[in-house]
Amino acid sequence: MTDQTVEIPAQEPARPDIRDFLTRYLKYLPWLLVCMVIGLALAYIKIRYAVPIYRVQSTMMIKNEGPGSGGKDDRLGALFMSEPMNNLLDEIEFLKSSPVIARVVRDLNLQTSYYCNGSVKSSFIYRTTPIVLHFIQNGDSNSGIAFRITAIDDRQFLLNNEKAVNYFGQPFKIGHSICMLTRDMNLDLKAFQSRNYTISWQPAIAMARGLTGAISISQGNEYSSVLTLSMKTESVDMGVDMLNTIMAVYDSLIAQDKKRIAINTANFIDDRVRSLKDSLGGVEGNLSEFKASNQTFDINDQAKSFVSDISQSEKELKTRETQLIIMNWLINYLNEPASSYKSVPVNLGIEEPTLTALFSEYNRAVLDRESNLKTTKPDNPMIKRMEANLDKMKVNMLQALANVKQAAILARDQIVKSNEQLQSQLKTMPRKSIHEQSILHQQQILQELYYFLLQKKLETSISSASTISNSKVVEPAIGSDVPVSPNNKSIYTTYLMIGLLIPAALIAILEVLNDKVNNRLEIQKATQTPILGEVGHSEGDRTLIVSTNSRGFIAEQFRIIRTNLQYITGKNERPVILVTSSFSGEGKSFVSTNMGAVMALAGKKTVVMEFDIRKPKIISGLDLKRKMGITNYIIGSANFEDLLIKVEGIDDFYVIPCGPIPPNPAELLLNPRLNELIETAKRHFEVIILDSAPVGLVSDALTLSRFADCTLYIVRRGHTPRRLLGLVNELYSNKKLPAMSVILNDVKLQGGYYGGYGYYGYYGYGYGKNNGYFEGNSGRKGLFGKRRSKGPSDKIDK
């Protein structure tokens, strides 16, 4: 066969290619598809047997107008017991509090839960339950109970796993409680998915804590007084009833709290009115007695004139004294043991913002304690903490009252001092008139305080009778028809991604752990050493692929390498070619044998010298009988003619075996007789191929490099570690081996192509095998119909 001489193009810089990526990872596609299908199947199973969860939503408004807010007249707000501005965050917490939810649970009878058990999942039953639980005796109201039943018919059932038959309408014992089940005959047992039921009962407070997590309350924005209540539940009817009942319970509790405060205030006022009536009667009696005994029925004209001059200051003095009396009453009320943990009267005319805020906070805390006492014992640590907080708040109120009282005393003393200066002029007046004026002044103060309390009593009575809540239902609870969970789209997407990512992660791990050379690009990235060619993967048992009439794909690859080798050897008529690699098993002997054969087929007398004297494989690969070899010649026990072995089937192709393996191979290669052997071979042969030991393991190749004109460095795909490419680059950069070039061995067919491993088809690489140009294309089919080549073997040093 005659080779056409062409110019080898300059080696292109390594660059990624989409075809390389596809051919490298296309083999994993079936596993990706299988895992994705499994993921979709799991998603379907999850959706099929998941319990659907629905969203129920309602809105309510918290009226946030109080005295001084500008929303309405302050006096009208005080009349209807309006409180200071509400903190919506506090109202949200109150709506979600356990006492509120526990009352909802009791109102809706949610303490008892009914589930119909299917073969895979259980369904919650609300309202339309064919079986109803009744307690004859609840042995422990603080502990829950649960049991399973199997309804045999409308009269009988089995309890738990017992074999004894029980009857509806007859009592039975569960734990410490005695219960009874009744049948609602309006509901047919056949209408339900099974006759197996799970029935449980929980204390209201425990049930409330479990339901609190499903309830969400949010404020539209910081300026809005509208709250959105939502709940996620498997029963839309139960969710609608719960949200509507929560709003109703909140409304009633707020109204009750306001009414309780009004009643306490009215009782306080009644006590003070009775006391004032006695005091006022005594003053009036003193005045009548004074007038009768002193015969003074009219105030002196001069006294009237002075009273007119100082009336303004006396009016202010009366106001201050009234406030002091009220503050003394409040201080005495707070100090009385009987008033402990009771609400403090408000709206008594003390216009002090600090006191108003403290009283409102104290009354709210008192109401919270009373609310919790309905479901909690007085010795509960939570109640103790609330009482400690109330005691601390009472101390703060007493301190604030003392401070306000002290300020009022100072103001009153200043007014008194001013009045004393004016009244000093009254010394000339008759003593009787002055005494009478004093009694009248005291009488007037008591009368004003009496009328003030009567007015407040009337206001409190009106507010108590017309107490309204500060909330309003904007939109009743409405449930969605479409479940919010499971989210079919999200589940399918998630499981599909899991089915994709898990195998992708495993593939990535395998790629990270794989430190072997995989393709031509990796060699180009790691070293500047030129790549002479590539050799495909051989699956047969023969070492010698190239023969006189061979047109197989691998044989043609060796012919291409022979052509490319001309540009390395140049005009050298008798080239010496050194073949080496990084370590054993990369295909040196395979390449050396077939390169020798392809050279001989080109009409050049060729000899392959087996210089891998530590681990020789060429003779055994060709199935030749061993005879005297290189080591015999070096020690002088054989002549050159004794070494030659003719390879049958190919003209002008010979092999020189290594001979017996010596104990000192490295020193043996330094023997002067080796020079004579090489010179003799040059005289008898046109091409000499030196099959040496791996340069990465021993120094034999470096020793033989002095005889070589060029070096073929074998790198095997999937076998040579990437780190050894650094050795290749070092040998090439430092020119330790002459005219060094790389042959990539064992390139496997992927997707019908040797894609990305050659010059993209420039020399036939990458065009595939099944194109009619080569022999041996038939073979067994692999995955997706790809035919696996049944060509020669790579067992010999492949």
For 452-470, write each residue's pLDDT tens digit: 777 776 776 666 655 566 7
Model pLDDT, residue 19: 66
Q: How confident is the model at residue 747 (pLDDT cuts 50, 70, 90)?
A: confident
Top-confidence range, 434-438, 463-467, 557-561, 760-764: 557-561
Query: Does 725 have pLDDT greater than 60?
Result: yes
Query: Does 709 have pLDDT greater than 90?
Result: yes
Query: Does 770 have pLDDT greater than 60?
Result: no
C-alpha span between 196 and 151 (Å, rounded): 7
C-alpha Rg value of the chain to the nearest Å: 54
More confident residue, 151 or 780: 151
Contacts of 49-52 with CB under 8 Å at 24 or more apart are 49/120, 49/121, 50/121, 50/485, 50/486, 51/121, 51/123, 51/234, 52/234, 52/483, 52/485, 52/486
Q: Worst-scoring range by mean pLDDT, 114-128, 256-270, 585-599? A: 256-270
- The closest of 592, 625, 552 to 745, measured between CA atoms, is 592
C-alpha span between 116 and 194 (Å, rounded): 7
Q: pLDDT per residue over 203-258, tens digit each?
A: 989 888 888 888 999 987 777 888 999 999 988 999 999 999 998 888 887 777 77
State how far the alpha carbon of 619 is from the alpha carbons of 255, 601, 626, in Å.
108, 20, 7
Q: How confident is the model at residue 131 (pLDDT cuts 50, 70, 90)?
A: very high
Determine contact, residues 109/186, Cβ cutoff 8 Å: no
More confident residue, 779 or 664: 664
Secondary structure of residue 710 in the 3-state scheme? strand
Q: How confident is the model at residue 480 (pLDDT cuts 50, 70, 90)?
A: confident
Q: Worst-scoring range by mean pLDDT, 378-387, 445-454, 673-682? A: 445-454
Query: Does 409 have pLDDT greater than 70?
Result: yes
Query: Does 719 have pLDDT greater than 50?
Result: yes
Query: Does 70 have pLDDT greater than 50?
Result: no
Top-confidence range, 79-83, 280-284, 688-692: 688-692
Query: Does 86 have pLDDT greater than 60?
Result: no
C-alpha span between 549 and 546 (Å, rounded): 8
Query: Does 18 have pLDDT greater than 80?
Result: no
Provide the 10 A C-beta neighbour count for residue 391.
Answer: 12
More confident residue, 12 or 424: 424
Average pLDDT, rounded, for the chain: 79
More confident residue, 493 or 352: 493
Domains in the chain, CATH or no CATH each: 18-50+486-513 (no CATH), 112-201 (no CATH), 267-472 (no CATH), 530-779 (3.40.50.300)
Query: Does 530 have pLDDT greater than 90?
Result: yes
More confident residue, 283 or 686: 686
Model pLDDT, residue 325: 85
Model pLDDT, residue 789: 40
More confident residue, 297 or 445: 445
Model pLDDT, residue 51: 84
Q: pLDDT per residue over 630-651, tens digit each?
A: 999 999 889 999 899 999 889 9
Q: Worst-scoring range by mean pLDDT, 406-415, 667-676, 686-695, 744-753? A: 744-753
Residues 476-499, mean pLDDT to the nearest whole number = 88
Model pLDDT, residue 794: 41
Query: Does 151 have pLDDT greater than 90?
Result: yes
Q: How confident is the model at residue 531 (pLDDT cuts 50, 70, 90)?
A: very high
Query: Does 758 have pLDDT greater than 60?
Result: no
Model pLDDT, residue 245: 92
Query: Does 435 have pLDDT greater than 80?
Result: no
Provide the 10 A C-beta neighbour count for residue 3.
Answer: 15
Residues 750-757, mean pLDDT to the nearest whole number = 46
Q: Where are the alpha helices (DSSP H) in 218-295?
A: 236-294
Q: pLDDT per residue over 175-184, tens digit each?
A: 888 999 999 9
Model pLDDT, residue 431: 57
Residues 747-767, mean pLDDT to the nearest whole number = 47
Q: How confident is the model at residue 591 (pLDDT cuts 50, 70, 90)?
A: very high
Query: Does 73 have pLDDT greater than 60?
Result: no
State how far the alpha carbon of 190 is from the alpha carbons of 128, 149, 186, in Å.
13, 16, 12
Residues 693-713, mean pLDDT to the nearest whole number = 91
Query: Does 768 have pLDDT greater than 70?
Result: no
Residues 149-171, mean pLDDT to the nearest whole number = 91
Q: How confident is the model at residue 289 (pLDDT cuts 50, 70, 90)?
A: low
Query: Does 186 have pLDDT greater than 60?
Result: yes
pLDDT > 70: percent of the chain: 78
Query: Does 606 have pLDDT greater than 90?
Result: yes
State how far the alpha carbon of 177 is from the alpha carbons of 127, 139, 168, 172, 752, in Å.
24, 4, 17, 9, 78
Q: How confident is the model at residue 287 (pLDDT cuts 50, 70, 90)?
A: low
C-alpha span between 570 and 726 (Å, rounded): 28
Model pLDDT, residue 525: 87
Model pLDDT, residue 756: 42
Determine contact, residues 595/560, Cβ cutoff 8 Å: no
Report which secondary-structure segment, H or E, holds 367: helix 353-373
